[in-house]
Structure 1
């Protein structure tokens, strides 16, 4: 991943259904048609889609899938470690990230987009800070920053 990523490179490629089945199986989930369609939509939609956006994508192929099913399926994906839930700064909707690698999120308050950000130097600084300052009776295992701001012209 480059330091900045908006997931747009994923929208251009259609995931292999066998690969999606394998991802579900590895996560301990049965590869039902609905789960495959929901996972496929999550992977191909740009950015960090909402459940409603995933539902619209899935409904184009399978109109009988309800929004409730999409929410429940996405929650099961989060519980299985197949995806992550990402808070949006406005807090009004849940958004999902199919990229489970360690990275941070930059939230543009003007465009409402969430941009992935990865920087090993920043990660090292955060680890060093908590190693030297501690958190009382708490041991962090992972971390992700969510930084709100606005895009600049340069």
Structure 2
């Protein structure tokens, strides 16, 4: 699943294909919402997506954006990511295996990948043998503060 890190405009045909592969009809509204989700930096909220889409389609309601985003989550096109307090839902168009660092000062959510950490977590749970539970995936949500001037290695 590709993610447009450079925030360039995705090809309309590519968006239609992604929706079709997820089993969703490629309506104009869904295309606009998916495009916005892919182009907005970071992990946008439904409000962020709605603001961007409303500039092109003023009649599109926030409720429609939520419904579309929920259908994208159900279809595996995006993931829901909670803020540290869990008060607002944010969305991540990158569905590859990764973790999130949440900065309580800036409210920024930063993607974090570490194959060594993943191996440690898998080994830990294999050794524990969770009763009546089969883990399929995992994602850590780590809360803290970015240090001024420090670059986070993703």
Instruction: Indicate the TM-score class for this superposition, using the shorter chain for normalisation.
Output: over 0.9
Residue matched to 1:45: 40
Distance in 2 of aligned mates of 1:8 and 1:108: 23
Distance 1:26 1:8, change over 3 A: closer
2: distance between equivalents of 1:149 and 1:83? 24
2:146 to 144, 148, 151: 151
Does structure 1 conserve the Cα–Cα contact (< 8 Å) formed by 2:4 and 2:38? Answer: no
Question: Aligned Cα RMSD in Å?
Answer: 1.3
Q: Secondary structure at the match of 2:126?
A: helix
Cα distance in 1 for partners of 2:100, 2:142 equals 6
Structure 1 position 8, deviation (Å): 8.7
Larger relative contact order (CA 8 Å, sep ≥ 6): 1
Following TM superposition, the consecutive aligned residue runs of length 4 or more in structure 1 with deviations greater than 3 angstroms are: 7-10
**Are 2:109 and 1:114 aligned?**
yes
2:135 to 124, 130, 140: 140
**Alpha-carbon deviation of 1:22?**
0.3
Unaligned ranges ≥5, structure 1:
1-6
Which of 109, 116, 122 is matched with 1:127 structurally? Answer: 122
Residue 152 of structure 1 and its aligned partner are, at CA, apart by: 1.2
TM-score by length of 2: 0.92
TM-score (norm 1): 0.92
Task: Count how many residue pairs are aligned between Structure 1 and Structure 2.
Answer: 147
The 5 Å alignment of 1:74-85 reads: 74-85=69-80
